Structure 1
């Protein structure tokens, strides 16, 4: 079985490609990332097209969000055309959503490949709707997801043979939008158990940690509100991640109530997880918050909303707590429960480590993906054979 993988950036696609290489299935990886940023795969199996991604990455790093956003659609369309021109013969072409419309069609028409659209979030129309509502709640400007991207994704959902989603939450949004359940495949992401591990906590501070893009989509106002009404001066909130423009007024409003560390290299995150008492992920929508598994691997309980994929990762009340979206009171209640019960906090942390180890990291993710491919290929071959006999 020959698998080609396409993704402008790393996301989880590089982990998928490494797994396909480990299993002996990887034919080629196509990416807009620079070649020196791609590791763990033979160089002859990797093609890169960094000419638009590099400026977008620089714009993002220095906070030029308008420049970054203006480059987004041209970068996606150019990368897709580049990939479609050189897609190698394969049995399966797996590409992150938005990036592969022309490439999927090329893989189908030229190589008869099974095509897989990989969507890391909720259905794009659901995402657009819930974000419009959230921005309106806080009087923030939201132009909406670019209509060109919405159109591209809807076409991908329609033309691809399978759609991979990382959580039951994401799957529900697709079904609600009319996508056939039989086209969807649930494959929660893994975690690098070698990179994310627990180190001894160096102090006695009860520390609430957030890791992710600091944005309205991540539900940050509700975490800030929960902390502001906690009534405990000996609890610290530490925030890690790039800051989106719409959050600046709220960051100013709550200034002095948290420590903001900005973006932190992925390889350094385990140190911050290990100093935390709890990770809170209050997202309005998050296809699968990988930071949850990372924190759990470091022995940290998680408080997350029901729109983060938490239910596919841990059991409510065992390794952490699952709360409704937009509920600062529920977040505050669960933080207080962990603060007031050190034994429960320790027990949940130990259970979190055991849970992620049982889930198997990225190896199990790769095996599930390969099984889904093989089952779909066998079903298609069986149907073709049956049709030929009619």
Structure 2
């Protein structure tokens, strides 16, 4: 029987750590989880002896660093937190497992320890290969006169180092897999396991909505393509339309604060970080025009709420959507196309409902255990082929 140690900078049992939690539970249910190394514990049904928080005092130090980062936007809080997690995880690993599974790249010390104590190290990655992402976003940073790429070079180096040294890499979308190949990772080293969603966790949208409501959930920054959504809204002439509203739910970056102020869209709402379920069920359309997104769980969450989705080819949309059925998959940086799709969905409520119904059906066909079972299959196949 395969023994797997799972390593990830996440809080098991939390909403942001849902995918880590689901994977840990699935490995345990298969009786192959040896140990889960995580940042913190918010709640878990796993036996206490199967979960380790390597950092002294658990997640207190990382939370302190992250708290500072909320007030100092460009602080490299994630780098320092991950470095700390990697340092202490490497110290805590002592037992021999068949496979060490990294929930995300960026832990080179832990990987080296895994090479010593495990037969195989597998790294799951949920973002575009960093060098490819940096090239893709360079025009945006030039356009908006942003001086530096937000992810420090040393963090990029650590992430790429673990991907390149891993025995196997699991990509969570076709887009991520393509970026890895373009970045020089051998294709035969990469497996694909797209995300899923627990549809029952998301109430379907309210039938009677007073206004045509377009929703975006996520970090409100350049990378997410939000300026193109704002441009599309204005191209449709909706900025003073009392029968429509645009909601951006999430933390706003400094450069987007300036852009939003300049746009002066009267019916734009920015409630900050929100519980998305409350917003999905009161929206008409979900729009996620990201320029680079490993997957975008919000796409499936919105689909599970019965919303048609407009997203780009550089997300996980291609893994779970067919253009024109659950919504639309558009090219990045094209506010004209976004505007046209939004106008069409507003003018055709019956087709909008049909797309929303199809989105819900598709979401139900992609539960979380489809993702975790695929990872278990990859682990089992690799271990049996040794």
TM over 0.5: yes
Aligned residues: 370
Distance in 2 separating the partners of 1:131 and 1:38: 37
Which stretch of the first structure deviates more once superposed, 197-206 or 185-194?
197-206
The one of 361, 364, 384 aligned to 1:378? 384
Q: How does 1:1-390 map to 2 (within 5 A)?
A: 1-10=2-11, 11=17, 12-33=19-40, 35=41, 37-48=42-53, 49=55, 50-60=59-69, 62-67=70-75, 69=76, 71-87=77-93, 88-112=95-119, 114-232=120-238, 233=241, 234-255=243-264, 256-265=266-275, 269-359=276-366, 361-380=367-386
Change (3 A) 1:178 1:99: closer
Could you tell me whether the CA contact under 8 Å between 1:296 and 1:302 is conserved in 2? yes
2:331 and 2:198 map into 1 onto residues whose CA distance is 28
> Quick one: distance in 2 between partners of 1:140 and 1:293?
31
Alignment partner of 1:8: what SS?
strand
Distance 1:73 1:338 in 2: 41
For residues 225-247 of structure 1, the C-alpha deviation after alignment (integer angstroms, 9 at most, x for no partner) is 00011124222101101112221
C-alpha RMSD of the superposition: 1.7
- Check conservation: 2:174, 2:192, Cα contact below 8 A: yes
TM-score (norm 2): 0.91
CA–CA distance in structure 1, aligned partners of residues 269 and 151 of structure 2: 31
Question: Matched residue of 1:30: which SS?
Answer: strand
> Do 1:199 and 1:271's aligned partners in 2 also have CA atoms closer than 8 Å?
no
2:209–2:283 contact (8 Å) kept in structure 1: no
Q: Distance in 2 between matches of 1:176 and 1:98?
A: 17
Q: TM-score, normalised by structure 1?
A: 0.90
The SS at the match of 2:121 is strand
| Greater mean deviation of Cα atoms: 82-91 or 235-244 | 82-91
Paired with 1:40 and 1:141, the residues of 2 have a C-alpha distance of 46
**Distance of 1:107 and 1:181 partners within structure 2:** 23
Shift of 1:21: 2.0
Distance 1:272 1:40, change over 3 A: farther
Q: Is the 8 A contact 2:66 2:78 kept in 1?
A: no
Query: What does the per-residue CA deviation read over 1:251-274, in whole Å, with 9 as the maximum and x for residues that have no partner?
Result: 211233411110013xxx222101
Structure 1 partner of 2:14: none
Residue 198 of structure 1 contacts residue 299 of structure 1 at CA under 8 Å; is this kept in 2?
A: yes
Instruction: Output the CA distance in 1 between the equivalents of 2:179 and 2:216.
Output: 25
1:118-174 Cα offsets, whole Å, 9 max, x none, are 211111111122223211112223245311112212221221011111111111111
- Name which of structure 1's ranges 286-295 and 229-238 shifts more when overlaid on structure 2: 229-238
Runs (4+) of structure 1 moved beyond 3 Å?
Answer: 96-99
Q: In structure 1, how many angstroms separate the alpha carbons of the residues matched to 2:8 and 2:27?
A: 15
1:128–1:144 CA contact under 8 A, matched in 2: no
